[in-house]
Structure 1
Amino acid sequence: MAGVTTGGGTRIAFRTAGDPQGPPIVFVHGWAASSAAWAGQLSDHSLSAHRLVAVDLRGHGASDIAADGYDDPAVWAGDLAAVLDHLGRPAVLVGWSYGGLVVTDYLRERGTAGVAGVVYVGALTEMGRDRPGGAVGSAWDGIMRPALSEDPREAIPALTTLAERMTAAPLPGPDLQRHVGDMLRVPPRVRKALFRRDVGSAEVLAAIDVPVLIAHGTADTVVAPASAEYAAGKISTAIVRWFEEVGHMPFVERRAEFNAALVDFAGPVANH
């Protein structure tokens, strides 16, 4: 683990792997997760020619639990900018789920400065009622309110159910428990604050001028495939990779296939 401190004084932690001199790939996890989600990428030899950096968002993992900033695009952009400044060269940004919204916030505030390419994985690019880039699926049915509760008797079963619904096929028990542990490590107030947003991104997506890969599972019930279709329709540089019969975590469910697609995309982009 390593870390940087933002201009606002928040320490953002990240895991590193691969070649320290290689072209960087920066992984941004989803809601109530952590950088540990990317273990299957950080440990894969096929990606080792890159400098691999998996970020813990503020309030998550080993990063500081900041008092605020969870609903502010400028703050999210600043957090990611601090990591990119530390790397010192353009990076491919990989945003999964809510991490896709964080990447979009960076693009909203900073444009594509320091960005070689973008990979959206099961990603949101918008949030709010009737925002097409933020369409979610049936995995949230019946669990949204208890998942945000301060009462562990409500939160733990709801978060466990959500973790179970992340994948099309069941995760091994130890992996599922680790994921639930990451969720519980995020304070309830942070879990709530992350949803306290209403933001569209049509103009931001249309302005992207670097290569983009959109990877989405056809069986994703957490972030609906319609969200990927919306982003693909707005981003002129986008190519779409559908993972058939895969849920919300193609980088786990089809690790080898996902990593091969990432190598094929990031190699030419990062070395351009």
Structure 2
Amino acid sequence: MFIETAKGVNLFVNDVGAGTPVIFLHGWPVNNNMFEYQLNTLPAEGIRYIGVDMRGYGQSDKPWDGYDYDTMADDVKAIIDELGVKDAVLVGFSMGGAIAIRYMARHNGHGIAKLVLAGAAAPVFTQRNDYPYGLTKQEVNDIIDSACKDRPAMLENFGGMFYSSKPSNPFNQWFMSLGLQAGGHSTIKSAVALRDEDLRGDLDKVLVPTVIFHGKNDKVCPYEFAGEMNKGIANSRIVPFQNSGHGSFYDEREKFNQELLVFLKS
């Protein structure tokens, strides 16, 4: 289905199953199909899968503007309001985790009872003078430059940083194809947001029970991010994924799904 925001942007939402509503926000630069290995199993456990293609990605509209965290958080509110869901669980992966935190702070957690942050690009994705974790701004600038010159090559290189396991070549090609469905300008402008946004002032505004899933071998969002989020979000705990890189949803998909179900049913 498609849901139109107040600014006329149509967002694709994959709404499958019945039961506890769980809203999935994907990472940069793919779409909700990255959660295929959750969608395959969760509806059988009484979970309503609500997968969102954020603006610029997948089947959603690809406007020129609106790739800042505030606007994308507003997009999430438009979806929650249109679907009329209450007491939902919000699952944000990587950039989606950053947008989930901004949503909770900007909209007072409207409609959300619990929060899952999986490999979240938060509280800050790039290094600062007072924040030594993550990529440097120059490293992100290099990724942006690569996207401007040869986006398929950039996607292939970035995908190579995702997993500790060794997915098959067909899997890697499929995952890369998700990135190719995004708008080129959307990919670039979202990377600018990742480089520049800072969520440290948002963390204490997250007031719902929160679980932080994070791979110990994450090369995109280092494990130290989990500790920083845990310190800032009062009612939070960390679930480490010892054998995962950035993509714990696939590297340890059985554990990921099981830990998610435990949290949903607690």
TM-score in terms of structure 2 length: 0.90
Distance 1:28 1:173 in 2: 25
Distance 2:183 2:25 in 1: 19
Distance 2:129 2:98 in 1: 12
Where 1:41 maps in the other structure, the secondary structure is helix
Could you tell me which residue of structure 2 aligns to residue 243 of structure 1?
241
Distance 1:255 1:131 in 2: 36
Q: 1:142 to 1:195 in 2, by over 3 A?
A: closer
Aligned pair 1:159/2:142, yes or no?
no
Mean Cα displacement is larger for which, 125-134 or 206-215?
125-134
Post-superposition offset of 1:15: 1.4
Where 1:104 maps in the other structure, the secondary structure is helix
Q: 1:211 to 1:45 in 2, by over 3 A?
A: closer
Could you tell me which residue of structure 1 aligns to residue 56 of structure 2?
59
Distance 1:212 1:252 in 2: 21
For 1:69, which of 66, 70, 73 is the aligned residue?
66
Count of residues in Structure 1 that have an aligned counterpart in Structure 2: 260
Distance 1:229 1:238 in 2: 10
Distance 2:29 2:14 in 1: 17
For 2:224, which of 223, 226, 247 is the aligned residue?
226
Q: List alignment gaps of at least 5 residues for structure 2.
A: none
Post-superposition offset of 1:58: 0.3
Distance 2:200 2:213 in 1: 19
Distance 2:170 2:49 in 1: 25
Distance 1:161 1:264 in 2: 34
Q: Which letter maps to 2:13?
A: F
For 1:214, which of 206, 212, 222 is the aligned residue?
212
Distance 1:255 1:33 in 2: 18
2:215, 2:247 within 8 Å by CA — same for their partners in 1? yes
Q: 1:106 to 1:45 in 2, by over 3 A?
A: closer
- Could you report, residue by residue, the CA deviation over 1:26-56 in whole angstroms, capped at 9, with x for unpaired residues? 0100011111100011110575302111110
1:147, 1:156 within 8 Å by CA — same for their partners in 2? no
Q: Which letter maps to 1:28?
A: L
Distance 2:70 2:198 in 1: 15
Could you tell me which residue of structure 2 aligns to residue 17 of structure 1?
16
Post-superposition offset of 1:172: 1.4
TM-score in terms of structure 1 length: 0.88
1:165-180 correspondence runs (5 A): 165-180=161-176
2:16, 2:43 within 8 Å by CA — same for their partners in 1? no
2:243, 2:252 within 8 Å by CA — same for their partners in 1? no
Q: 1:145 to 1:82 in 2, by over 3 A?
A: closer
Could you tell me which residue of structure 2 aligns to residue 258 of structure 1?
256
Distance 1:91 1:199 in 2: 26
Q: Which letter maps to 1:18?
A: G
Where 1:94 maps in the other structure, the secondary structure is strand
Post-superposition offset of 1:170: 1.6
Post-superposition offset of 1:180: 1.0
Q: Which letter maps to 1:6?
A: T
Post-superposition offset of 1:145: 4.0
Post-superposition offset of 1:211: 0.3
1:73-152 correspondence runs (5 A): 73-88=69-84, 89-127=86-124, 128-130=126-128, 135-136=133-134, 144-149=143-148, 151-152=149-150
Q: Which letter maps to 2:105?
A: R
Distance 2:81 2:140 in 1: 40
Post-superposition offset of 1:135: 3.9
Where 1:116 maps in the other structure, the secondary structure is strand
Distance 1:57 1:108 in 2: 19
Could you tell me which residue of structure 2 aligns to residue 27 of structure 1?
24
Once superposed, which parts of structure 1, at least 4 consecutive aligned residues long, lie more than 3 Å away?
Answer: 45-48, 126-129, 131-135, 140-143
